[in-house]
Amino acid sequence: MQDFNSSNTVVIAGPCAVESEEQMEIVCKTLKSTGVRYLRGGCFKPRTSPHTFRGLGEEGLKIMAEMRTRYGLKIVTEVRDTKHLDLVAQYADVVQVGAKSMYDNDLLLACGELKKPIVLKRNFAATVKELVNAAEFITMQGNSDVVLCERGIRSFENSTRFTLDLCGVAWLKKNSDFPIVLDPSHAMGFAYGIPDLARACVAMGVDGLMVEIHPEPEKALSDASQQLNMRQFVEMHESLKPIAMAVNRHII
């Protein structure tokens, strides 16, 4: 994946879900002001309950594409079903396979046919070895541009949404060659913990950091509790720079 190399920690930020052009404008202006290059935003949202917002679908992808044109940002968005893959790939610079899809062999194989980077999120009940196996479904089809994302696993602890498995990250760094992105937002589930966790992630010397941000988190249609507002994001982003330097990386 472009920009992913051992001297950078690449920040990928944006809302949980694309909700409107106005929302995305505010997010993109903030990303531009901080020098962030990758915009995330879900358009096809896998949800635990069918009664919650499931994304704008293609309308959301069009908003993302417009943001790429206006702001020069790269678009990271999730595909949750093979039937949407061509559509998503038409708009995305980077295709995300979500935690709930990590075991979807057909989706992984189909992503292996794409000529685009894939961010593969670890299922919250998967071992790191299973994550690597899932990534190999993609690479065996010819697409070697796969990035692994640790986003929290389910443990006995239920005060936080999930538990960020930094030991697993250390294992992956030693035992696999895939670049690694850490997502503290889904792991923590609450905005108050994200800046501290993000700093811990950067201190791990990983290739990327994915964070959910929203202009008005309390009004977000999905994952409202865990999204940082713009001010919180800018402050956090600034604080990551010296930590990255300490592990010989640059925040971009």
Count other Cβ atoms within 10 Å, centred on residue 25: 16
16 touching ligand PEP, by CB under 6 A: yes
- Nearest residue to the partner ligand PEP, using Cβ: 98
Q: Which is nearer to Mn ion, 214 or 249 (CB)?
A: 214
In whole angstroms, give the CA distance from residue 214 to residue 13.
10
Sign of CA dihedral 191, 195, 201, 207: positive
Say which amino acid occupies 212.
E
Contact yes or no for 228/36 (Cβ under 8 A): no
From candidates 37, 186, 214, 249, binder to ligand PEP by CB under 6 A: 186
C-beta closer to Mn ion: residue 16 or 180: 16
Residue 98 partner contact from Mn ion, ligand PEP, none using kind-dependent CB cut-offs of 5 to 8 Å = ligand PEP
Of these partners, Mn ion, ligand PEP, none, which one is at the site of residue 99 (CB under 5 to 8 Å by kind)? ligand PEP
C-alpha to C-alpha distance for 124 and 100, rounded to whole angstroms:
8
Cα-based torsion angle of the residue sequence 45, 234, 11, 196 in order, rounded to the nearest 10 degrees? -90
Rounded least distance, CB 62 to Mn ion, Å = 20
Distance from C-alpha of 43 to C-alpha of 176, rounded to nearest angstrom: 30
- Interacting stretch for ligand PEP, rule CB under 6 A, among 21-29, 98-106, 132-140, 200-208? 98-106
Token pair 């507002």 is found at 229
Q: Which stretch binds ligand PEP (CB under 6 A): 18-26, 64-72, 94-102, 133-141?
A: 94-102
Pick between residue 37 and residue 121 the one whose CB is nearest to ligand PEP.
121
Determine which helix (DSSP H) or strand (DSSP E) holds 192, and give its type and residue range: none
- The DSSP H or E segment spanning 250 is strand 250-251
Q: Provide, rounded to whole angstroms, the least separation between the CB of residue 23 and Mn ion.
A: 14
Q: Does 98 bind ligand PEP (CB under 6 A)?
A: yes
Give the shortest CB-134-to-ligand PEP separation in angstroms: 13
Region near ligand PEP per CB under 6 A, out of 18-26, 92-100, 165-173, 213-221: 92-100
In the complex with ligand PEP, which residue's Cβ is closer, 204 or 241?
A: 204
User: Rule CB under 6 A: which of 142-181 touch ligand PEP?
Assistant: 151
DSSP 182: E
Query: Binding residue for ligand PEP (CB under 6 A) from 54, 121, 214, 237?
Result: 121
Task: Enumerate the H helices of the chain as residue ranges.
Answer: 21-34, 58-71, 85-91, 105-111, 128-139, 166-175, 184-188, 194-203, 230-246
Q: Is residue 108 involved in binding ligand PEP (CB under 6 A)? A: no
CB nearer to ligand PEP: give 78 or 104.
78
Q: Are strands 118-121 and 94-97 parallel, antiparallel or unpaired?
A: parallel
Residue ranges in contact with ligand PEP by CB under 6 A: 16, 42, 78, 98-100, 121, 151, 186
